[in-house]
Amino acid sequence: MRDEEGFIVSHYAGDVCYETALFLEKNNDALHVSLEMLLEDSNNSFMKRVYSCTNGKTSSSGKGGPTPSGKLNITSVSSKFRSQLRLLIQKLTQTGTHFVRCIKPNSEMKPGYFQGAQILDQLKCAGMTSVLKLMQKGFPSRTMFEEPGKFAEFDQLMKQDAAEMRRLIEKVQTWILRLRWRKAQYGAWSCVKCELRQRKLAEQNKELTEKMANLKQRIKSNAIDGHVALDKCAAIQQTFDQYLQQLKTEAHKEEFLKFREQLQKEHQQQLLEQ
C-alpha cells in the first residue's frame, strides 16, 4: 500500500492501518430517501417507533439538518461515533465503575485462534503486566467504590479550614521525616556492626595464621634434630598444611586446639622417654 492510499493511527494496543479508497462514501451513514419514506409510511409499530427515535436523536444533536451557516450536515459514521463516545464519557464520569479490558485475539478475526505476541503487546500497553507484578509482590488494590469509607473521610478533610489543613500537613511531614531518620539510623548502625565484625574476623585469622606458622617451625626443627623420623615428619608436615587452610575459619578453631594439645603431649612423652 502506498502513502496516498491509506494512513496509520497508532493506538495504545498497536498500529491500525486505514484505507482511504472510498473513505467518504463509507463514512456516509445517511438513509436513502425512498427508505425514509417507506419507514415513515410503515404500518409496523416497531419500525415506525425505531425510525422516530433515530430521527429525534439526529435532529436534537444537530445532525442531518440545516445549520445556522446554511450548510447541511450529513449523518456519518464518525459523527455517530463521536456522539456515542461523548455519551459514554458522560456516563463514566457520573458513575464509579469497574473497567473490563478488551483484548483482540488475532488479526484474521477467526474464532478460537489466539496470537500470543499480539495479545502480550496489548496487555503491556494496557498496563496489565505491571498490575500483575504488583499483585504478585503483595500490593493489590481492591477498593470497593460502592463503599466510600476512607474516601468520604478524605473529602471531609479537604473541605475543612485551610489553616487546619496546613497544620495537618505539617504533622504528616514531621512524622515522615522522623520515620525516615529512624530508618537511616538503623542502616548506619547495621553498617558499623558489619564493619566491626569483619575487622574482628580478620584479626582472628591473622592470629591463627601466626600461631600455626610458629608451631610449624618448632615441629620442623624437632624433626631436623632427629627426634622424629623423616617419614613421620613429612606426614605431620602435610597434615599441618591441610589444617592451616581449614583453621582460617572460626568453625575449626576448637579442633585446632585439641590437636595442638595432643601434639604437645606426644612431644613431652618423647622427651621423657629420651
Closest CA to 110 of 118, 120, 121, 99: 118
The CA distance from 64 to 30, in Å, is: 8
1-64+73-95 classified as CATH 1.10.8.420: no
Q: What is the model's pLDDT at position 142?
A: 63
pLDDT per residue as tens digits for the range 209-255: 888 888 777 776 665 665 556 666 667 777 777 766 665 665 566 66
Q: At residue 28, what are phi and psi to the nearest 5 degrees?
A: -75, 120
Share of the chain above pLDDT 70, in %: 59
Q: What pTM was estimated for this model as a whole?
A: 0.31
Q: Exposed, middle or buried by CB within 10 Å (0-12, 13-18, 19+), for 262?
A: exposed
65: left (phi over 0), alpha (psi -120 to 50) or beta: beta
Residue-wise pLDDT for 224-234, tens only, equals: 665 556 666 66
Burial class (CB in 10 A: 0-12, 13-18, 19+), 247: buried
Number of H helices, E strands in the chain: 10, 2
Q: What is the pLDDT along the chain (274 residues), one digit of tens a residue?
A: 777 788 888 876 678 888 888 888 888 877 666 777 777 777 888 877 776 766 655 554 444 444 444 444 567 888 888 888 999 888 888 876 667 788 889 988 898 899 999 899 888 888 888 888 877 777 656 666 555 555 566 666 666 777 777 787 788 778 777 776 666 666 666 666 666 666 777 787 888 888 888 877 777 666 566 555 666 666 777 777 776 666 566 556 666 677 777 777 777 777 666 6
**pLDDT the model gives residue 86:** 92
3-state helix, strand, coil split of the chain in percent (to 5) is 65, 5, 30
In angstroms, the CA 266 to CA 68 distance is 120
Q: Of 21, 25, 17, 27, whose CA–CA distance to 5 is shortest? A: 21
Q: What is the pLDDT at residue 113? A: 92
Identify any residues that bridge with 17 across adjacent strands, giving them in sequence order: 8
